[in-house]
Amino acid sequence: MNNSELNELKHRYLPRGATPAATAFAARAENAEIWDEDGRRWIDFAGGIGVLNLGHRHPKVVEAIREQLDKVMHTCSMVMPYAPYMELARELCERTPTRGEARKALLINSGAEALENAVKIARAATGRTGVITFDGAFHGRTMMTLAMTGKVLPYKNDFGPMPGDVFRAPYPNPLHGISDEAALAGIRNRFKTDIAPHQVAAIVIEPVQGEGGFYIASPAFMQGLRQLCDQHGILLIADEVQSGFGRTGTLFAIEHSGIQADIITMAKSLADGMPLSAVVGNAEVMDASGPGSLGGTYGGNPLACAAALAVIRAIDEEDILGRSQNLGRVLSERFGVWQERFAAVSHPRNLGAMAAFEFTEPATGEPAPEMAQALCAKARERGLILLSCGFYGNTIRFLMPLTAGQEVVEEGLAIVEACLAEL
Ligand code: PLP
């Protein structure tokens, strides 16, 4: 079927809330390129929304999945466990910078499911119920993670009431007038206005906000947050679903801050496109809930675990973290050039290759989301997949594979530049 026939099926059979705006259908993909059902080539600067740090169909990952396919596809790890789950749990525990010497890992399917489980575990470990998250946060689309998500449209609008005991504080963002001190004061205010600190189980933070706009919490804020958590016996959960697995030039973004979380959630690039997520934390915390209390039918599927083990091997063998740092430098340099040349391009930022810039009205400095939309639309006309995001929808984020060849990256950046010139 070609794109046009598939679009007819899309409109006839998918619910409005899940109908993709995109009109091209992926037929095959390789590293940072996709070919659609009409045979058109696309450059992929979205990476399936941060899932493909190793690119489409990384050869080591494809090989590992094929090998596993010939062994076992599913038993349900709770019915009869298998080696890849155990091996991956060991790798993740050895590499995830959470507090304490001994760590344990739970494997499930999606980012939202990781966050749900992190909250369950924190509640069991502390005997408390409260959860504090941040404005602009995105933690998923299940009911609890929607309550934790700090953006109404399009995520929460139609679905209330939300589960209780979730409160939000301002994310540290000098660009929006919120200093580190103001953000810490915001949490202390929650203790005054909403919930006593001794009832708070966890504070959940994205060290770099993903959907919220690629805003980076400073090391000073993260250190202040750690202190505040320690002062009140609150667990600190770092949601690294989007920032983890090499995107920021370290395996986890929190490594830039010099502090450790109690629990880290991860998904997306963990398994290069296979549905897999993990909750990793201090062994005592992870062991708090009773036998049979955590898991799920598909959690830690053997094919997904095999893929993740191959991802970890490739990160080691192919200097993926170094590549992320280099790509970050390339993007940051280019953003600087664009900022000089195009009056509406503003506030470039990056932590490794987690890189973004914004569109603001040159005269007023007000966010200009329509320009971000226009840029993404123009880029698509020229065969480049580009994503916007942000509290105001005016941010352009770059999530191309870290394995993308220099030529493809340059080709994509040249398209962005040509489109910027036309806006
Ligand atoms: N947490 C963060 C930081 C995310 O960026 C996302 C997805 O974008 C999620 C959680 C939810 O992940 P999923 O869509 O796999 O449920």
Domains, the chain: 3-57+319-422 (3.90.1150.10), 62-317 (3.40.640.10)
Whether ligand 1 lies within 6 angstroms of the CB of 211 is answered as: yes
pLDDT of residue 281: 98
| CB-count exposure of residue 167 (10 Å: 0-12, 13-18, 19+) | buried
pLDDT of residue 322: 98
pLDDT of residue 390: 96
pTM of the predicted structure, to 2 decimals: 0.98
Confidence class for position 343, pLDDT limits 50, 70, 90:
very high
Whether ligand 1 lies within 6 angstroms of the CB of 367 is answered as: no
Give the mean pLDDT of 271-296.
Answer: 98
Q: In one letter, which amino acid is 272?
A: D
Whether ligand 1 lies within 6 angstroms of the CB of 140 is answered as: yes
For residue 271, report the distance from its CA to the centre of ligand 1, in Å: 14
For residue 140, report the distance from its CA to the centre of ligand 1, in Å: 5
Q: 14-47, pLDDT tens digit by residue?
A: 999 999 999 999 999 999 999 999 999 999 999 9
For residue 142, report the distance from its CA to the centre of ligand 1, in Å: 10
Q: How far apart are CA 331 and CA 314, in angstroms?
A: 23
Q: Which of 117, 241, 266, 270 to mutate to test the pocket of ligand 1 (most atoms within 8 A of CB)?
A: 241
pLDDT of residue 409: 98
Q: Which of 268, 277, 387 to mutate to test the pocket of ligand 1 (most atoms within 8 A of CB)?
A: 268
pLDDT of residue 88: 98
Do 219 and 258 touch, CB atoms closer than 8 A? yes
Whether ligand 1 lies within 6 angstroms of the CB of 134 is answered as: no
Q: 160-173, pLDDT tens digit by residue?
A: 999 999 999 999 99
Angle between helices 59-69 and 302-317 (to 10 degrees): 150
Whether ligand 1 lies within 6 angstroms of the CB of 111 is answered as: yes
Q: 351-390, pLDDT tens digit by residue?
A: 999 999 999 999 999 999 999 999 999 999 999 999 999 9
| CB-count exposure of residue 86 (10 Å: 0-12, 13-18, 19+) | middle
Whether ligand 1 lies within 6 angstroms of the CB of 112 is answered as: yes
For residue 277, report the distance from its CA to the centre of ligand 1, in Å: 10
Whether ligand 1 lies within 6 angstroms of the CB of 139 is answered as: yes
**What number does the ligand 1 atom closest to the CA of 141 have?**
16
Q: Which of 206, 242, 269 to mutate to test the pocket of ligand 1 (most atoms within 8 A of CB)?
A: 242
Q: How far apart are CA 373 and CA 358, in angstroms?
A: 11
For residue 55, report the distance from its CA to the centre of ligand 1, in Å: 19
Confidence class for position 311, pLDDT limits 50, 70, 90:
very high
Q: How far apart are CA 207 and CA 254, in angstroms?
A: 6
Whether ligand 1 lies within 6 angstroms of the CB of 68 is answered as: no
Alpha helix locations (H) across 74-165?
A: 83-95, 111-126, 143-148
Do 273 and 56 touch, CB atoms closer than 8 A? yes
Q: How far apart are CA 292 and CA 156, in angstroms?
A: 31
Whether ligand 1 lies within 6 angstroms of the CB of 212 is answered as: no
pLDDT of residue 411: 98
Give the mean pLDDT of 183-208.
Answer: 98
Whether ligand 1 lies within 6 angstroms of the CB of 172 is answered as: no
Do 246 and 328 touch, CB atoms closer than 8 A? no
For residue 139, report the distance from its CA to the centre of ligand 1, in Å: 5
Helix (H, G, I), strand (E, B), or coil: what is residue 77?
Answer: coil
Do 203 and 247 touch, CB atoms closer than 8 A? no
Do 389 and 401 touch, CB atoms closer than 8 A? no
pLDDT of residue 104: 98
DSSP letter for 155, please. Answer: I
Q: 81-137, pLDDT tens digit by residue?
A: 999 999 999 999 999 999 998 999 999 999 999 999 999 999 999 999 999 999 999
Tell how far CA 302 is from the center of its chain. Answer: 23
Starting at the edge strand found earlier in the chain, the sheet holding 33-36 runs: 26-30, 33-36, 41-44, 384-385
Whether ligand 1 lies within 6 angstroms of the CB of 358 is answered as: no
Confidence class for position 8, pLDDT limits 50, 70, 90:
very high
**What number does the ligand 1 atom closest to the CA of 110 have?**
15
Residues listed for the chain: 423
Helix (H, G, I), strand (E, B), or coil: what is residue 356?
Answer: strand
For residue 155, report the distance from its CA to the centre of ligand 1, in Å: 12
Q: 312-337, pLDDT tens digit by residue?
A: 999 999 999 999 999 999 999 999 99
The two counts, helices (H) then strands (E), for the chain are 13, 15
**What number does the ligand 1 atom closest to the CA of 242 have?**
5
Q: How far apart are CA 401 and CA 34, in angstroms?
A: 12
Q: How far apart are CA 183 and CA 203, in angstroms?
A: 13
Q: Please choose, from the candidates 389, 402, 99, the residue with its C-alpha nearest in 3D space to the C-alpha of residue 268.
A: 402
